[in-house]
């Protein structure tokens, strides 16, 4: 009978873990080496020269991408409307409008801030003043400037990333940028870049980590923009929806878009919420960005990256910021969601085990009361004993 109760208790715990996996979209499974088993399966891109056009129910073009699109993928448009892909038909993907998205509020002014002598504002002293950067697809290049769309070991994407890093440094942010080569551009690229991302996170504990790419749609006008009097390429943010940090990273992406909509209107084309992991299970502030496409001039992508860099200190509450801007725009509530679910599952599992092992709810409560009473008695007894011994020694001396 006792064995049966123990087995039932274990089954309750397992069921709780499965529920946790479901509610946090903890898919794909993780191998014994810590690498998601399906990493690289869904993070694929078109290599046949084609691309997907995402359309709404009226035939309006919402987005274009060489990223593999799957039913269930979602897209937050430039005007903050959420769409969900329902079907794929050849090179077209069809999406239904779901709702208007309310982005976090951008607090642009705070007169209680402490202003430095140079006119900048001290922000969030507790934040780690580091942003980590890397490139999964290190050969990605820009044809008009680089002469080709791919340069093994020396892609134009490095120079775009350098422009982003340099601007962040000018804004007082430390940058940890690894230019590790992850070629070839195949299904295992994200497995190779995972080691780089993990190393960056381990060594620097950054405030955020960014994987920098460019898209591959052939139309250069799709990403072209003119912002603050400059010709730039616009950016897309990509969030993987198959990991436990999905909500945290989506919150982060929304914060980035909210700030840019205010200070760089039109820079962010949208947020693509894609099937796949993209190594974003490693951090609750991990984002993939696509800076233009291969048919854009690289210098325009660099200017877009510079504008993007200006938003990050305001999102994260780090570096030196313009006077009147204080701290991050919103608390990232998703950071705690994974922890709370784990605690909930453990508590439910422990409670179920107690009920089954004692045979009743009352028995479980009595067991818990007995346990806590004994533990407190032992704790207080030991503490009194230590105090008594200390007083005795003091008296002897």
Q: Is residue 210 part of a domain?
A: yes
pLDDT of residue 245 exceeding 70: yes
Q: Are residues 298 and 377 in the same domain?
A: no
Q: Are residues 115 and 188 in the same domain?
A: yes
Q: Is residue 52 part of a domain?
A: no
Nearest residue to 239 (alpha-carbon basis) of 202, 204, 289, 201: 289
How large is the angle between the packed helices 298-316 and 246-263, nearest 10 degrees? 110
Three-class secondary structure assignment of the chain: CHHHHHHHHHHHHHHHHHHHHHHCCCCCCECCCCCECCCCCCCCECCCCCCEEEECCCCCEEEEECECCCCCCEEECCCCEEEEEEEEECCEEEEEEEEECCCCCCCCCCCCCCECCCCCECCCCCCCCEEEEECCCCCECCHHHHCCCECCCCCCHHHHHHHHHHHHHHCCCEEEECCCCCCCCCCCHHHHHHHHHHHHHHHHCCCEEEEEEEECCCCHHHCEEEECCEEEECEEEEEECCCCCHHHHHHHHHHHHHHHHHHCCCCEEEEEEECCCCCHHHCCCEEEEEEEECCCCHHHHHHHHHHHHHHHHHHHCCCCECCCCCCCCCCCCHHHHHHHHHHHHHHHHHHHHHHHHHCCHHHHHHHHHHHHHHHHHHHHHHHHHHHHHHHHHHHHC
Q: Are residues 240 and 384 in the same domain?
A: no
How many whole angstroms separate alpha carbon 133 and alpha carbon 359? Answer: 55
Q: Is residue 149 part of a domain?
A: yes
How many whole angstroms separate alpha carbon 369 and alpha carbon 238? Answer: 50
Q: Is residue 56 part of a domain?
A: no
How many whole angstroms separate alpha carbon 88 and alpha carbon 93? Answer: 4
pLDDT of residue 266 exceeding 70: yes
Q: Are 256 and 202 in contact (CB under 8 A)?
A: no
Nearest residue to 145 (alpha-carbon basis) of 291, 305, 295: 295
Q: Is residue 334 part of a domain?
A: no
Q: Is residue 55 part of a domain?
A: no
Number of domains in the chain: 2
Task: Count CB atoms within 10 A of the CB of residue 31.
Answer: 11
User: Which has the minimum average pLDDT: 109-113, 284-288, 375-379, 393-397?
Assistant: 109-113
Q: Are residues 174 and 231 in the same domain?
A: yes
Q: Are residues 263 and 376 in the same domain?
A: no
Q: Are residues 284 and 393 in the same domain?
A: no
What CATH number should be reported for the domain holding residue 291? 3.40.630.40
Is residue 92 classed exposed, middle or buried when 0-12, 13-18 and 19+ CB atoms within 10 A define those classes?
middle
pTM: 0.71
Percent with pLDDT over 70 in the chain: 64
> pLDDT band at residue 381, thresholds of 50, 70 and 90?
low
Q: What are the pLDDT digits (tens) for 150-201? A: 999 999 999 999 999 999 999 999 999 999 999 998 888 999 999 999 999 9
Q: Are residues 156 and 304 in the same domain?
A: yes
pLDDT of residue 338 exceeding 60: no
Q: Is residue 2 part of a domain?
A: no
Give bridge partners of residue 286 from the DSSP assignment. 209
Q: Are residues 286 and 186 in the same domain?
A: yes
Q: Are residues 323 and 366 in the same domain?
A: no
Q: Strand pairing of 130-134 and 208-215?
A: parallel
Q: Are residues 298 and 166 in the same domain?
A: yes
User: How far is the CA of 162 from the CAs of 169, 175, 271, 302, 311, in angstroms?
Assistant: 10, 10, 23, 8, 16
Q: Are 69 and 110 in contact (CB under 8 A)?
A: no
Q: Is residue 33 part of a domain?
A: no
User: Which position has the higher pLDDT, 229 or 126?
Assistant: 229
> pLDDT band at residue 44, thresholds of 50, 70 and 90?
confident
In this prediction, residues 271-297 reach a mean pLDDT of 96
Which of 310, 328, 346 finishes a domain?
A: 328
pLDDT of residue 219 exceeding 50: yes
Q: Are residues 188 and 300 in the same domain?
A: yes
Q: Give the list of residues 6+ apart from residue 95 with CB closer than 8 angstroms, or none.
A: 54, 55, 56, 62, 75, 83, 84, 85, 86
Q: Are residues 169 and 289 in the same domain?
A: yes
Output the pLDDT for position 126: 45
User: Which position has the higher pLDDT, 55 or 396?
Assistant: 55
Which of 328, 347, 377 finishes a domain?
A: 328
Q: Are 160 and 363 in contact (CB under 8 A)?
A: no
Query: Residue 135: which domain range?
Result: 103-328
Q: Are 25 and 241 in contact (CB under 8 A)?
A: yes
Which of 278, 307, 328 finishes a domain?
A: 328
């Amino acid at each position: 009978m006792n064995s049966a109760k123990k087995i039932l208790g274990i089954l309750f715990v397992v069921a709780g873990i499965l529920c946790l996996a479901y509610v946090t979209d903890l898919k794909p499974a993780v191998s014994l080496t810590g690498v998601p088993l399906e990493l690289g399966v869904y993070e694929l891109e078109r290599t046949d020269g084609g691309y997907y056009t995402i359309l709404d129910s009226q035939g309006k073009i919402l987005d274009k991408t060489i990223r593999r699109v799957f039913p269930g993928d979602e897209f937050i448009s430039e005007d903050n409307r959420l769409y969900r892909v329902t079907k794929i038909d050849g090179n077209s993907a069809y999406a239904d409008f779901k709702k208007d998205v309310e982005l976090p509020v951008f607090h642009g002014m705070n007169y209680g801030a402490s202003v430095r002598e140079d006119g900048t504002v001290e922000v969030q002293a507790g934040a780690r003043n580091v942003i980590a950067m890397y490139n999964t697809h290190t050969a990605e290049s820009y044809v008009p400037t680089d002469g080709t769309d791919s340069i093994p070991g020396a892609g134009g994407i490095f120079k775009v990333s350098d422009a982003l890093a340099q601007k962040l440094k000018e804004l007082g942010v430390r940058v940890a940028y690894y230019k590790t080569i992850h070629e070839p551009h195949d299904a295992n690229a994200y497995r190779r870049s995972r080691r780089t991302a993990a190393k960056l996170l381990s060594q620097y504990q950054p405030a955020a980590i960014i994987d920098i790419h460019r898209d591959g749609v052939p139309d250069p006008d799709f990403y072209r923009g003119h912002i603050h009097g400059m010709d730039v390429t616009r950016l897309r943010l990509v969030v993987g929806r198959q990991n436990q940090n999905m909500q945290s990273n989506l919150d982060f992406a929304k914060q980035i878009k909210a700030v840019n909509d205010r200070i760089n209107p039109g820079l962010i084309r949208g947020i693509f919420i894609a099937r796949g992991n993209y190594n974003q299970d490693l951090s609750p502030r991990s984002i993939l960005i696509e800076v233009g496409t291969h048919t854009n001039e690289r210098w325009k992508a660099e200017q877009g990256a510079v504008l993007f860099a200006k938003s990050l200190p305001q999102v994260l509450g780090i570096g030196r910021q313009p006077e009147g801007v204080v701290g991050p725009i919103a608390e990232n509530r998703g950071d705690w969601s994974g922890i709370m679910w784990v605690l909930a599952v453990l508590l439910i599992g422990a409670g179920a085990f107690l009920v089954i092992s004692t045979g009743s709810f009352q028995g479980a409560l009595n067991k818990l009361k007995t346990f806590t009473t004994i533990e407190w008695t032992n704790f207080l007894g030991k503490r009194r004993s230590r105090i008594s011994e200390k007083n005795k020694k003091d008296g002897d001396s």
